Amino acid sequence: MELESTSNFEKTILDLAVKIGSLAKVEGITTSQLEQIIASLENSPDRRNSLLICAAYTKRQANRLRRGNRTVQAIIEAIKEIYLRNGGKEEARKLLGLAKWVRESLDDIRIHQAVNNFGEYLDLLLLKR
Best CA proximity match to 77, nearest among 104, 101, 63, 58: 58
Residues 6+ positions from 45 with CB-CB distance below 8 Å: none
- Note the pLDDT tens digit of each residue in 41-78: 999 999 999 999 999 999 998 888 888 899 999 999 99
CA distance 16 to 118: 9
Q: Are 77 and 33 in contact (CB under 8 A)?
A: no
- Phi, psi for residue 67 in degrees, rounded to 5: -165, 165
Q: Answer yes or no: is pLDDT of 121 > 80.
A: yes
- Phi, psi for residue 81 in degrees, rounded to 5: -60, -45
pTM for this prediction: 0.90
Q: Which whole number is the average pLDDT over 15-43?
A: 95
